[in-house]
Structure 1
Amino acid sequence: MAELLSERTGPPLLPMLKPRDAIDELDRAAELPGVRGVYMGTNIDNRDLDDPLFEPVFARIEQLDLPVFLHPQQTVGGARLGDFYLSNLLGNPFDTAIAGSHLILGGVLDRHPRLQITLPHAGGALPILMGRLDAGWVVRPETRRLAQKPSDYLLHFSYDTVSHSGPVLNFLIQNIGIERLVLGGDYCFDMGYDQAIDFLDRLALSLEPRNQILGGNAAKLLTI
Structure 2
Amino acid sequence: MTSIDSATLRSGNVDIHAHLLPAECYRIPTADGSVDVAEIEGELHLGCTPIAVSGPQLSDVSLLLRDMDEHDIGVRVVSAPPYAFAVGADAARAAEYATHTNDRLLDLLAPYPDRLLPLGVVPVQDADAAAAEMQRLAAAGVTGIAVPPVVGAAALGDHELRHVLHSAAAADLCVLVHPMQQPRPGFTAHYLQNLIGNPVETASAIASIALGGLFDIHPDLRIAFVHGAGAAPALLGRWDHGWRERDDVSADCATVPSEVVRSHVYADSLTHSDAAADLLQSVLDPDRLLLGSDYPFDMADPDPVASARSRAFDLDRLRGNALRWLGLTREPRSEGTT
Give the conservation status (yes or no) of the 8 Å contact 2:154–2:160. Answer: no
Q: Equivalent residue for 2:34?
A: none
What is the percent sequence identity of the aligned residues? 32
* Residue in 1 that maps onto 2:213: 107
- Structure 2: tracts of 5 or more residues without a match: 1-84, 87-97, 111-116, 329-338
Q: For residues 137 and 130 of structure 1, do their structure 2 counterparts lie closer, same or farther at Cα, with a shift above 3 Å needed?
A: same
| Counterparts in 2 of 1:43 and 1:217: CA distance versus 1, 3 Å | same
Mapped to 1, the partners of 2:119 and 2:174 lie a distance apart of 15
* Cα offset, 1:204, TM superposition: 4.3
Q: Give the 3-state SS of the residue equivalent to 2:266 in structure 1.
A: strand
- Corresponding residue number in structure 2 for 1:92: 198
**Alignment TM-score, normalising by the size of structure 2:** 0.60
2:154–2:161 contact (8 Å) kept in structure 1: no
Relative distance call for 1:195 and 1:110 in structure 2 (3 A) is: same
Q: Name the CA distance, whole Å, in 2 between partners of 1:85 and 1:71.
A: 17
Residue-by-residue CA offset, 1:94-149 (whole Å, 9 max, x unaligned): 11111111111122222222211101111111111101110001111211211111
- Which letter maps to 1:211? D
Q: Quick one: which amino acid aligns to residue 281 of structure 2?
A: I
Q: Given the superposition, is the C-alpha separation of residues 13 and 194 from structure 1 closer, same or farther in structure 2, using an over 3 Å criterion? A: closer
Question: Is 1:169–2:274 an aligned residue pair?
Answer: no
**Partners of 1:19 and 1:53 within 8 A in 2:** no
Shift of 1:74: 4.4
Partner residue in 2 for 1:151: 258
Matching residue within 59, 71, 88 for 2:166: 59
TM-score, normalized by length of structure 1? 0.88
- The 5 A counterparts of 1:24-63 are 24-33=132-141, 35-63=142-170
Partner of 1:14: 122
Structure 1: how far apart are the matches of 2:124 and 2:208? 17
How far apart in 1 are the matches of 2:157 and 2:324?
Answer: 26
Q: Please give the secondary structure, in 1, of the residue aligned with 2:232.
A: coil
Give the Å deviation of 1:52.
2.2
Structure 1 residue corresponding to 2:320, chosen from 197, 210, 216: 216
Which protein is bigger by CA-based radius of gyration?
A: 2
Which structure features the higher share of strand residues? 2
Structure 2: distance between partners of 1:111 and 1:140: 22
SS at match of 1:79: coil
Aligned CA distance change for structure 1 residues 30 and 204 (closer, same or farther; 3 Å): closer
CA RMSD of aligned residues (A): 2.2
Q: Provide the secondary structure at the position in 1 that maps to 2:151.
A: coil
Aligned residue pairs, count: 218
